[in-house]
């Protein structure tokens, strides 16, 4: 069975097909996308409005290792799309059958390829 390394900043609870929860702790390597903040503009609202951030490189993601998958955030996954086949993101969308308590996600039931 392949190793799964959690490169998000928080533990993930994985609920398997038998309804058993497994906690995947964070690895300490938190993959992130560099960004540059957009300029602030006054457009007549009570607060300034920032232009969209500009995203750059993915940082702090371990190099590929045989028989290992890395779980990253959706933003990191989108930045890596098509560049690595060892990357998955938590399935948290409306059609992903994640387990919620109110609006809060408490467990995921699948990973997705970015």
- 8 A C-beta contact, residue 14 and residue 107: yes
Q: Is it the case that residue 103 has pLDDT exceeding 90?
A: no
Q: Is it the case that residue 40 has pLDDT exceeding 90?
A: yes
10, two tokens: 């928080």
Handedness of CA 58, 60, 65, 67 (dihedral sign): negative
**Domain count for the chain:** 1
Give the closest residue to 83 by CA, choosing from 33, 28, 30, 14.
33
The length of the chain is 114
pTM higher than 0.75: yes
Cα 87 from chain centre: 10
**What pLDDT does 19 receive?**
95
27, two tokens: 């690895």
Give the closest residue to 108 by CA, choosing from 11, 38, 2.
11
Q: Is it the case that residue 1 has pLDDT exceeding 90?
A: no
Domain of 31 in residue numbering reads as 3-112
pLDDT band at 75 (very low <50, low <70, confident <90, very high): very high
- 8 A C-beta contact, residue 70 and residue 83: no
């Amino acid at each position: 069975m392949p190793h799964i390394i959690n490169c998000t900043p928080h533990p993930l609870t994985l609920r398997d097909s038998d309804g058993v929860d497994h906690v995947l702790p964070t690895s300490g390597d938190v993959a992130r996308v560099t960004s540059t903040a957009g300029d602030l503009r006054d457009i007549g609202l009570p607060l300034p409005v920032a232009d969209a951030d500009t995203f750059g490189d993915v940082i702090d993601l371990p190099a590929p290792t045989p028989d290992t998958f890395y779980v990253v955030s959706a933003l990191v996954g989108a930045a890596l799309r098509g560049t690595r086949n060892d990357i998955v993101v938590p399935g948290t969308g409306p059609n992903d059958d994640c387990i919620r308590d109110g609006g809060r996600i408490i467990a995921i039931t699948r990973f997705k390829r970015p």
